[in-house]
Structure 1
Amino acid sequence: MGLLSTVSSALSAGETDDGEAGNGTDSKGAYWCDDCAVRVRDVAVDDEGLDRDGDDTPLCPDCGDAMRFERNHADGCAC
């Protein structure tokens, strides 16, 4: 393995394809509040401490409305 590929591998370790630090769980999408433009990855909802409604949908931390789940299928990325 050459020096360049070694450095490249070291720098990319621990990151997901979207450039965010991985947490050992594959993200399937994100929850959005269209009114507030708040985005929370599905794997970070519990870490963010978001409240949930009766259907277990996360509530926006800014306005308290239920958030919309969205997944980008175009490139296989859940971003």
Structure 2
Amino acid sequence: MSVLTTVKEILRASTQSANRGSVTDETSKGAYWCDDCGERIRDIEVEGEEAPECPSCGDEMRFERSATSTGCAC
């Protein structure tokens, strides 16, 4: 088996799952972003209704809704 064939099989397998990257049954509606640091925290990982502080710089993060229908806030 060639390296190219192996890479093709890995890529094909990674796109076949309908539940990509989701570890929980909760559906994410978006993510909190820090514009300065580029940090991202999914909304389902945040407790409470208020925007969290960035773990790197301490600034308040902004919420951005997901544009995808898969529930992923990527």
- TM category (shorter chain) comes to 0.5 to 0.7
Deviation at 1:32, TM superposition (A): 0.2
Counterparts in 2 of 1:1-79, with a 5 A limit? Answer: 12=17, 16=19, 19-46=20-47, 56-73=50-67, 75-77=68-70, 78-79=73-74
Can you give the 5+ residue segments of structure 2 that lack an aligned partner in the other structure?
A: 1-12
Determine the structure 1 residue equivalent to 2:7: none
Q: Aligned Cα RMSD in Å? A: 2.6
Identity of aligned residues (%): 48
- Per-residue deviation, residues 21-58 of structure 1 (Å, max 9, x unmatched): 33110000000001000001111224xxxxx8xx7211
- The alignment of Structure 1 onto Structure 2 pairs a total of residues equal to 58
Moved over 2 A (4+): 75-79
Structure 1 SS opposite 2:63: strand
Structure 2 SS opposite 1:30: strand
Partners of 2:31 and 2:66 within 8 A in 1: no
Partners of 2:31 and 2:41 within 8 A in 1: yes
Structure 2 SS opposite 1:43: helix
- TM-score normalised over the length of structure 2: 0.61
